[in-house]
Amino acid sequence: MEFLISTFRNIPAIRRSLLLAVVILTALGNVHGRHKVHKWETVEYSAISCRAHTASLTNFGGVGDGTTLNTNAFKTAVDHLSRFQSDGGSLLYVPAGKWLTGSFNLTSHFTLFLDKDAVLLASEDENDYPVIAPLPSYGRGRDNDGGRFISLIFGTNLTDVVITGENGTIDGQGQLWWDKFHKKELQYTRPYLIEIMYSDNIQISSLTLVNSPSWNVHPVYCSNIIIQGITILAPVRSPNTDGINPDSCINTRIEDCYIVSGDDCIAVKSGWDEYGVAFGMPTKQLAIRRITCISPTSATIALGSEMSGGIQDVRAEDIVAIDTESGVRIKTAVGRGGYVKDVYVKGVTMKTMKYVFWMTGDYGSHPDNNYDPNALPVIDNINYRDMVAENVTIAAKLAGISGDPFTGICISNVTIEMAPKAKKLAWNCTDISGISSGVVPQPCELLPDQGTENVAPCNFPTENLPIDDMKVQTCSCRKKIY
């Protein structure tokens, strides 16, 4: 210290003044910085896997100003963090801000985590979405022949992937895409917000998804999937903005979601006509619980229409539908092949509906003219129980296929309050068979009333599905707060 004081005294006066000013400003800056820069906060969240390594998007050049394109920052971050797959996995933290980006891919043993004030903004530039091949079980894109724009968040051949947060937002900025769709200006099928293919152990949770160009969440050819605590919002007239579409997936759990959609809130699929038959991968062992749906032109839960690989063992319970066209709708057609069977629904509350029950055997859209006209779908063992509806226009429209009736339909303990201007024919049934019990108003003759004293309620399995054994744990990550 004496040496420093002596040295300072030997500096000429003007230089001493300048040096002293620098020292004082530096000290003030350090004090100011300690109060302004940041401190750390620990955030807890639920996930199928916790991660050993964490990084922020800002570490890779991300800028959350809503105008800077962050596609390369996301790609660089994921590429860097992929090296930790075998070392406890990694988490990419997206801080508060508006993060404009095009499509980017995920990696295995990886978590994408959005801060509560983070908004991931999808680019409106088609060039930010590479064109990829159509799904093999579809043979073409849904909007057009040929390929499709890759989804905003995409992954394939992955294991152990989590997309979650503190209800941060993914905004698809879909208006431009909807306009192009209506004007027939699209060369390829619109991108989805999230699509995961050929993957295992997937969690998508605690997010808000808005204004998707098309479907919101699309797991396809996947297994062991949890989709939980998602809010999905789209204008009710936006085209094909399905909420959640499990597609040729095995062992899936969808629960505690709120969906406002321009199409089906949940659409269960498994391939389209001859392509789905050839691919042969069904959707099965699907649990849907505690879902609220608003969709004035579509279904709460749709089974099909692309169901050619088969749909089996679907269990839906504790469902609320408000101002929605139909409850659970089965959609199929001649040429589809495949099957929808072993469907169990209970505990549904509906308010302001066009249809409570709707089955369609003539949903005739086809990918091309090469479908097999002799490929008839099998619809069997469809069970509905413990349901209440009010302000309903038509109780049921159940239309099977001539020569290929829908069988094993069971409806029990259902009360439907018809709207003041309801159709005179509450039940319209053709080419179906089954039974009913305790249903008001009285079902059609093809669903004869068995009497509540003579028949047990329609079946709903009591044993758990395998996905119920897939548990989440409490994890934590550190974030900077300012």
pTM, rounded to two decimals: 0.91
The three-state secondary structure class of 455 is coil
Q: What domains are defined for the chain?
A: 52-123+153-184+191-367+377-443 (2.160.20.10)
Alpha-carbon gap, residue 170 to 44, rounded angstroms: 20
What is the rounded distance in angstroms from the CA atom of residue 232 to the CA atom of residue 263? 12
Distances (CA, A) of 238 to 102, 118, 208, 214, 291: 21, 24, 17, 9, 21
pLDDT, tens digit only, all 482 positions of the chain? 443 334 334 445 544 444 444 333 344 344 344 444 567 788 999 999 999 999 999 999 999 999 999 999 999 999 999 999 999 999 999 999 999 999 999 999 999 999 999 999 999 999 999 999 999 999 999 999 999 999 999 999 999 999 999 999 999 999 999 999 999 999 999 999 999 999 999 999 999 999 999 999 999 999 999 999 999 999 999 999 999 999 999 999 999 999 999 999 999 999 999 999 999 999 999 999 999 999 999 999 999 999 999 999 999 999 999 999 999 999 999 999 999 999 999 999 999 999 999 999 999 899 999 999 999 999 999 999 999 999 999 999 999 999 999 999 999 999 999 999 999 999 999 999 999 999 999 999 999 999 877 777 899 999 999 999 999 999 998 877 66
Residues 182-221 as b/e (b if ≥16 CB within 10 A, e otherwise) read eeeebebbbbbbbbbbebbbbbbbbbbbbbbbbbbbbbbb
Helix (H, G, I), strand (E, B) or coil at 130: coil
Residues 215 and 245 sit within 8 Å (Cβ to Cβ): yes
Given this model, what pLDDT does residue 205 score? 98
Residues tagged active-site: 263
Q: Which pLDDT value is given to residue 481? A: 65
User: Which region holds residue 224: left if phi is over 0, alpha if psi is between -120 and 50, else beta?
Assistant: left
- On whether the CB atoms of residues 228 and 188 are closer than 8 A, the answer is no
